Amino acid sequence: MLSGIQKSTVERVAWGERLGFRRPMMSPLTPVAALGVAFVVLLTASPLLNLLTAALAGGSRGLSSLLSGSVFTLMSRTLLLATLATLWALLLGVPPAWILTRTDLPGRRLFRVLGVLPLAIPPYIGALTYITLLGPVGLVNKAYHAMGGAGQLVNIYGLWGGVLVLGLFTYPYILLLAGSALESSNPALEEAARAAGHGPMGIFIRVTLPLLRPSLLAGSLLVFLYALSDFAAVSFLRVTTFTTEIYQQLNTRFDLRSASALSSVLVLLTLLVLVAQRKSLGRRSFVQRGSGAKPPTVYPLGRWKAPALLCTYLVLGSSVFLPIALLLYQVGSPGILFQTLASGQRYLWNSLWTGAVAATVASGLALFVAYLIDRRKGRVGLILTAATQLGYAIPGTVLGLSLILLYNTYVPWIYGTAAMVVLGYLLRYLPQAVQGSVAALSQVDPNLEEAARGLGRSSWQALREVTIPLIRPGMAAGWMLVFISSIKEVAATLLLRPAGFDTLPVRIWIATIEVDFAGAAATSLILIATTALPLFLIKRLDAGISQLD
C-alpha cells in the first residue's frame, strides 16, 4: 500500500485528499476513505441493526414492553444513577488531575500512576469489596455492633451505593483525559488570566476548566455511558437499571425481542447524550497547542501541600488501597494467591493477548476515525462518531447475543474463535480509543501536517512523523483504556468465548458463582496486577516520549 503511493509521481488526486484529510474542504469521500468508513460502519452498526430488527420483529409484542409505565421509571432511575455517578467521578477526578499536573506535590509522578489504577479494578470487583466493607453485615456494621451500636450504620445496597462504586472506579477516565489535556495546554492562556489579575483558583475556574471542556466532556461521556451500560456492579449492589431489566428479560423469559427493544431505548439515550455533547462543544475552538508550546506552569503548593496530599490520598485510598486491602483480606493466605497464579496462567495469557490485540486494532481504527471526525466536520464525521460510540451503549449481553447471531450466520469461520472475544472488546471499547484520539488531535494545529507535506512527506508520512508523535500521549492513553477495559470485560466475553477459552474475569465470575471467594479475590488481584503493569510501562513510555512532561 505504501510503496504504491511513493511510486506514483503524478496522481489525479493526492493521497491526503483521497482520505478526505483536507482542512477547509468538503470534497466527497474518495474510494479508500469511503471503503474505510464503510468497514467501520459495517463493523459497528451491524449489531445495532440486528438489535433493531430483533426489536421490531416482535411487532406489537416487542414494543408493548416499552409502553408500560415501568420503562419510564426505569429510565429516570438509570439516568439518575449515571448522572450522579458522573458528577461523583468529576469530583473525584478533576482536583487530582490538576494537583498532579500543575503543582509541585511531592511524589506526584507516583500518584499519577496510582491514580489510574482504579481502572485496573473492575467495578464489579469494587462493588464486591465495598459490600464486604459497607454491606449490611459488612466490616463497618460489624465494628459498629462490636462497639455496642444497634441496627445498621451503613447499607451500601441501592442507588447511592451504585453511585459510590461506579464513580470510584471510573473517575480515572476523567483523571487521565483531563491530566493529559492539562499537560499539553498552552500556559500563555493561563498567564494571560494571571496578568488579568486572577489567582490560581480564578485561573482554574475561568480559563483552565473551560479549556478542559472537551476532555472533561469526553471523560464524563465515558463515565456516563459506562454507568448506563454497567450490569455486573449495579446488579451486585441491587440497583435496578435498564441493563438489569434487560438481563431479566433475557434470562428469565428468553425474550430477545423485549430485551432488544429495551436495548434500543438505551442506544437512543446514548445517541441523545452524544448529540448533546456535540451541541455543547459547538463551534468553539479549543486548539491550544501551537508550535511554540511551552510546558505548563507549575504552581508551588506552599501551605496547601497538606490538604492537597490529603485529597490525593483520600481519592486513591478509597479507590485503590482499600479495595486491594480488602481483596488481600479475602484471599487469606499467600498460598492461595500463588496457587491461583500457577493454575491460571492460561487465562492470564488469554486475557493479555485478546486485550492487547483489541487495543491495538482499536487504536488504529480510532486514529482513522478521529482523523475523519476532526478534519472533516461534516456528515461523515457525524456518522462515524455515532457508529463508533454506540457500541458502548449496547449492554454486553445483548451485544454478545447479536454478535453470535451475525457472525455464526454470516462469517462462521470467525465464530467459535477467540477473535469473537476480541471483536466484542473492540465494539464495546472503540469509543474510548476514538475519544482519546479525537481529543488529542483537536489540540494539534493542522498546519503542522501541511508543513510536513511541503517538506516532501506524503500525508501518510506526515501523519506518522508529525501528528502521531504529537498525539502519542493521547493515543497511548486510548490504547491503555481499551486494553484495561477489555481485560476486565465479562458480559460479552462469557457469551463470545469459544468453548474452552476462559479469561481472567470469566474465572473470577466462575469462582464467584462457585462461592470460592478466596479464589475470586486471588484472581482479581492477579487481574489488577496484570492491568497495573502496562499502566506503569505506558506511563514511563509517555514520560520518555514527551519532552513536555
Partner 1 sequence: MLKTVETTAGRNATRRMILLILAWMSVIALGPSAPTTASELVIYSGRKESAIKPAVDLFEQRTGVKVVLKTGKTSGLANEILQERRRPRADIFIATEAGVCEVLARGGVLDPYAPPGARPIPPEYKSSKGFWTGISGRARVILYNKGLVRNEEVPSSVLDLADAKWRGKVAIAGTLERTTLSWLSALVQVMGESKAKAYVDDLVRGSLKILPDNSDVWRGVGSGEFALGLTNSPNYHLALKAGLPVGVVYPDQGQKGMGSLVNPNAVAILKGAKNLPEARRFVDFILSREAQAILVGHAFEIPLVRGMDAGQVRPLSSFKALTISQERLADLEERTIKLFPGF
Partner 2 sequence: MKAAGTGATMTEVIRLEGVSKCYGGGGIVATREISLVVAKGEIVALVGPSGCGKTTTLRLIAGFEAPDGGSIEIGGRIVANEAIFVPPERRGVGMVFQDYALFPHLTARENVAFGLRNWNAERRRRRIAEALDLVGLSELEGRYPYELSGGQQQRVALARALAPSPQVVLLDEPFSNLDADMRAQMRQDVHRILHQAGTTAIFVTHDQEEAFMIADRVGVLNQGRLEQIDLPDVIYHTPATRFIARFVGSADFIPGLVQNEGIITELGTFPNQQGLPSGQAVEVMIRPDDIELFADLNGEATVVTRHFRGSDNFYCVRLPSGRTVHSSQGSTKVVEPGARIAVKTDPTHVVCFYEDESTR
Binding stretches for partner 2 (CB under 8 A): 9-17, 22-26, 289-295, 445, 447-448, 450-459, 461-462, 465-466, 469-470, 546-548
Q: Which is nearer to partner 1, 357 or 373 (CB)?
A: 357
Nearer of residues 65 and 312 to partner 1, judged by Cβ:
65
- Which residue lies nearer to partner 1 by CB, 27 or 408? 408
C-alpha torsion 160→100→442→43, nearest 10: -50
Can you give 351-371 as a three-state secondary structure string?
A: HHHHHHHHHHHHHHHHHHHHH
DSSP 3-state assignment of 533? helix
Query: Considering the complex, what minimum distance in angstroms separates the CB of residue 52 from partner 2?
Result: 34
How far apart (Å, rounded) are the C-alpha atoms in residues 417 and 245? 30
- Give the nearer residue to partner 1 in terms of CB position, either 204 or 247: 247
Does 353 engage in binding with partner 1 (CB under 8 A)? yes
Site pattern 178..217 for partner 1 (x: CB under 8 A): ----------------------------------------
Shortest distance (Å) from residue 101 CB to partner 2: 17
Q: How many CB atoms lie within 10 A of CB 110?
A: 11
Q: Distance between CA atoms of 73 and 56, rounded to whole angstroms?
A: 22
Cα–Cα dist 479/355, whole Å: 10
256 touches partner 1 by CB under 8 A: yes
For residue 482, CA distances in Å to 117, 250, 361, 434, 524 come to: 14, 27, 10, 10, 18
H helix runs in 376-416, sequence order = 379-390, 396-410
How many residues in the shown chain lie near partner 1 by CB under 8 A?
54
- The cell numbers describing 326, all together, are 480488602
The cell numbers describing 213, all together, are 471542556
- 294 touches partner 1 by CB under 8 A: no
Nearer to partner 2, 253 or 377 (CB): 377
Distance CA 469, CA 85 (A): 34
C-beta closer to partner 2: residue 9 or 60: 9
Helix (H, G, I), strand (E, B) or coil at 289: strand
Which partner in partner 2, partner 1, none is near 277 (CB below 5 to 8 A by kind)?
Answer: none
| Interface with partner 1 in residues 72-131 (CB under 8 A) | none
**Minimum Å distance from CB 80 to partner 1?**
20
Q: Taking contact as CB under 8 A, which single stretch among the options 83-91, 197-205, 251-259, 278-286 is the one that binds partner 1?
A: 251-259
Window of 113-121, 313-321, 380-388, 506-514 that interacts with partner 1 by CB under 8 A: 506-514
Q: State the residue for C-alpha cell 430488527.
A: 53
Note the residue count of the chain: 549
Helices 123-134, 322-331: crossing angle, 10 deg rounding: 80
CB of 450 to partner 2, least distance (A): 5
Element (H, E) at 61: helix 60-67
- Which residue stretches of 445-546 are H helix? 446-454, 459-462, 468-488, 491-496, 504-513, 517-545
Residue 515 engages partner 1 in binding (rule: CB under 8 A): yes
Judged by CB under 8 A, does residue 418 bind partner 1?
Answer: yes
With contacts defined by CB under 8 A, name the span among 72-80, 286-294, 444-452, 461-469 that binds partner 1.
461-469
Among the listed residues 215, 235, 351, 459, the single contact to partner 1 using CB under 8 A = 235
Q: Which is nearer to partner 2, 90 or 470 (CB)?
A: 470
Residue placing its CB nearer to partner 2 in the complex, 12 or 303: 12
Selected binder of partner 1 within 309, 416, 530, 548 (CB under 8 A) = 416
* Least distance between partner 1 and beta carbon 413 (Å): 7
247 contacts partner 1 (rule: CB under 8 A): yes
Residue among 215, 280, 228, 222 nearest 441 (CA): 215
- Closest CB to partner 1 among residues 130, 247: 247
In the complex, minimum distance from the CB of residue 236 to partner 1, in angstroms, rounded to a whole number: 7
- Any contact of residue 4 with partner 1 (CB under 8 A)? no
Nearest approach, Cβ of residue 518 and partner 1 (Å): 11
Task: Report the distance separating Cα 164 and Cα 191, nearest Å.
Answer: 37
Alpha carbons 180 and 489: distance in angstroms, whole number:
25
d(CA 431, CA 387): 9
Do residues 19 and 32 make contact, with C-beta atoms less than 8 angstroms apart? yes
Residues binding partner 1 (CB under 8 A):
70, 135-137, 235-236, 238, 244, 247-248, 250-254, 256, 353, 356-357, 360-361, 364, 397, 401, 404-405, 408-409, 412-419, 422, 464-465, 468-469, 494-495, 497-501, 510, 512-516
